[in-house]
Amino acid sequence: MSDNFQDRDLRRLRSLLEDVGEEAALGASLPELANYALNALRKYRDMLISLGQIKVNSALAKTQTSAAPSSSGNPVGGGPLQQEQQQEEAHGEQQEQAQDVDDLMDPLTPLEMLHRVVVTGIGVVSLYGAGFDLLMKGLFEGRSALRYSKELGFVVGSIPDSVDFSRWTVVQQREMCRASLLSLLAAEEAMSSADGIEDRSSTLVNIGACMADLEHIGATAEQIKKVEIRKISPYFVPRILNNLPAGYVAMKYKMLGDVEGTSTACATGVHCIGNAFRAVRHGYSRQALAGSAESCVNPISLAGFHRMRALATGDSPFDNKRSGFVLSEGVGLLLMERFEDAQKRGANILAEVLGYDNICF
């Protein structure tokens, strides 16, 4: 590749970026600017292909070329029989290049290659109990599930005693942190409501958690100070890893896609759902179970947030002068999948996810 060729394409790229800025400066409306930027991105993608920075499916290009008319008005590549042979060869080459599909599935994926993403399952364990219906009933009735803990000295949100953990043995409950147990309960509801997903070889799991089992960490630290190493639980590490709520769910339901545990403080749940949505939309996964789990109602967490003056001292959470938040626990998960898959198996479509973005400020 000659230097002149590279310089020319770099000038083209610079021109594209300047054009977008110029459009914004001229006060173009948001839809106009968005459409202009999309066209610029497509041109930029084509330029990267020409530079060899992105692999391109040459079979598709050959097929399109063989069908294009020449300047003389005659089809390029001879008569219909020869064109058919060329297309068959191109199709064969296209299959051989299947491994390059990931290179096409990027943020610049053509719109016709994107999948519609729908929600077919919901799983919740909230302060009202285990189940999405209990959450909605409590909210519509306007009932507060918060309580004052004499032991902790704060108003907190705790899962009620009615939530049953007895399905797990004592050993299993020692192995998993509370967030993992709650995640398994919510996943059971989500998978049950989505009913019918048998092939989970491409199912992504992204269940995030913000804070580890700090109370367990504190107790273990005290044992170490007392040189009681032999009394430390062999399950200490599995209980404090924030990716294990997702891991336990993936293992139980044999979900063989990506298993992730995004952690971004109060944005964790939306972040997990957004990333999972993108994975399904762009074709990396056929389904995704995503959301977040948190269980940090303990003296250490409360003391830390109290010192930050982040905990609420009033009872008006939606007031402009609200004083903070109430530390609580719970989990919420969405089962998302391709619209065509849900439609094919007759699934009950609860909602459609149209888009997602995030910004740091």
Q: How far apart are CA 86 and CA 62, in angstroms?
A: 8
HSE at residue 55, side-chain half, CA atoms within 13 A, is 12
43 plus 132 within the same structural domain: no
Residue 341 belongs to a domain: yes
- pLDDT in the model for residue 55: 46
Residue 79 belongs to a domain: no
Residue 97 belongs to a domain: no
19 plus 130 within the same structural domain: no
184 plus 325 within the same structural domain: yes
- pLDDT in the model for residue 359: 76
Residue 196 belongs to a domain: yes
269 plus 137 within the same structural domain: yes
138 plus 260 within the same structural domain: yes
11 plus 151 within the same structural domain: no
Residue ranges of the chain with pLDDT lower than 70? 1-112, 361
- pLDDT in the model for residue 98: 38
152 plus 288 within the same structural domain: yes
- pLDDT in the model for residue 110: 58
Residue 73 belongs to a domain: no
172 plus 312 within the same structural domain: yes
128 plus 223 within the same structural domain: yes
Residue 72 belongs to a domain: no
Q: How far apart are CA 223 and CA 116, in angstroms?
A: 52
The two structure tokens encoding residue 254: 């044999």
- pLDDT in the model for residue 278: 94
Q: How many domains does the chain have?
A: 2
44 plus 138 within the same structural domain: no
229 plus 140 within the same structural domain: yes
CA distances from 241 to 63, 134, 141, 158, 263 (A): 50, 29, 37, 21, 11
Domain assignment of residue 41, given as a range: 7-50
What is the CATH number for 186?
3.40.47.10
HSE at residue 285, side-chain half, CA atoms within 13 A, is 27
- pLDDT in the model for residue 291: 98
Residue 200 belongs to a domain: yes
152 plus 236 within the same structural domain: yes
